[in-house]
Amino acid sequence: ETGVTQTPRHLVMGMTNKKSLKCEQHLGHNAMYWYKQSAKKPLELMFVYNFKEQTENNSVPSRFSPECPNSSHLFLHLHTLQPEDSALYLCASSPMFDTDNYEQYFGPGTRLTVT
Amino acid sequence: TQLLEQSPQFLSIQEGENLTVYCNSSSVFSSLQWYRQEPGEGPVLLVTVVTGGEVKKLKRLTFQFGDARKDSSLHITAAQTGDTGLYLCAGGLGAQKLVFGQGTRLTINP
């Protein structure tokens, strides 16, 4: 497996469900990100992790809970979501945090539908 | 307020034509990147430009970073159907934070 992988690729959940999204990067990177992509809106940065430590929480509601056990894995735990949370959730990684290299490598995303 | 404005938002042209997509901002960026995204997939990095006035070429694609590092353009020569996709520009703001434009959805018709 190479690059950035995400599972599941598609998820349908009810508003009372609890589910988790998983991201794994095989690039040896140290920073990982969660983004939300909704129709007709730019990519929205949700969380940033650098060497497993959360460095950014972009005013994300508490029904989204990230977890980064190591530099290769990132989870997004979901509970009591709303229909407006339906979107494509993208994970990304980048090589180093404290450099001018902003290149990010994205996974294929999880298409989430909240019913 | 959109930090990065892309134009046009939608563009549909015939194969073989040339096109230019713009990415504008009032903010100065340390770097600017262009990504291409296909349906059901994540964005794929095409290029990074870091110096004001920099021009980079990737086969039929030419990327330019404005002298003041506030804007960028992507020019495609002799477009092909395989160029169809969503083109995103993203500006580096510091601490590994990228801000994205809303994208240009490009359709190349055979």
**A104–B45 C-beta distance less than 8 A:** yes
The C-alpha atoms of residue B44 and residue A107 are separated, in whole angstroms, by 9
For the segment A78-90, the average pLDDT, to the nearest whole number, is 95
CA distances from A72 to A53, A85, B99 (A): 12, 26, 23
**Residue B92: how many CB atoms within 10 A of its CB?**
22
Confidence class of residue A95 from pLDDT cuts 50, 70 and 90?
Answer: confident
Confidence class of residue A59 from pLDDT cuts 50, 70 and 90?
Answer: confident
CB-based contact A79:A16 (threshold 8 Å): no
Q: Is residue A98's pLDDT more than 70? A: no
* Chain B contact probe: residue of A40, A43, A91 with most B CBs at under 10 A: A43
CB-based contact B3:B91 (threshold 8 Å): yes
Burial class (CB within 10 angstroms; exposed 0-12, middle 13-18, buried 19+) of A107: buried
Residue B85 falls in which region: left (phi positive, over 0), alpha (psi -120 to 50) or beta: left
Q: Is residue A111's pLDDT more than 80? A: yes
Q: Per residue in A11-49, pLDDT tens?
A: 999 988 899 999 999 999 988 999 999 987 889 999 999
Residue numbers in A near B2 (CB within 8 A): 42
Q: What is the pLDDT of residue B9?
A: 95
Question: A52-61, A76-85, A100-109, B73-82: which range is least confident on average?
Answer: A52-61
Q: Per residue in B42-82, pLDDT tens?
A: 999 999 998 999 999 999 999 999 999 999 999 999 999 99
DSSP state, residue B81 = G
Torsion angle in degrees (nearest 10) through CA of A46, A50, A55, A56: -10
And the tokens for B17?
């034509």
The C-alpha atoms of residue B92 and residue B44 are separated, in whole angstroms, by 16
Question: Which of B30, B48, B96 lies at the smallest CB-CB distance from A31?
Answer: B96
Confidence class of residue A99 from pLDDT cuts 50, 70 and 90?
Answer: low
The C-alpha atoms of residue A47 and residue B13 are separated, in whole angstroms, by 37
Helix (H), strand (E), coil (C) string for A35-51? EEECCCCCCEEEEEEEC
Q: What is the pLDDT of residue B78?
A: 97
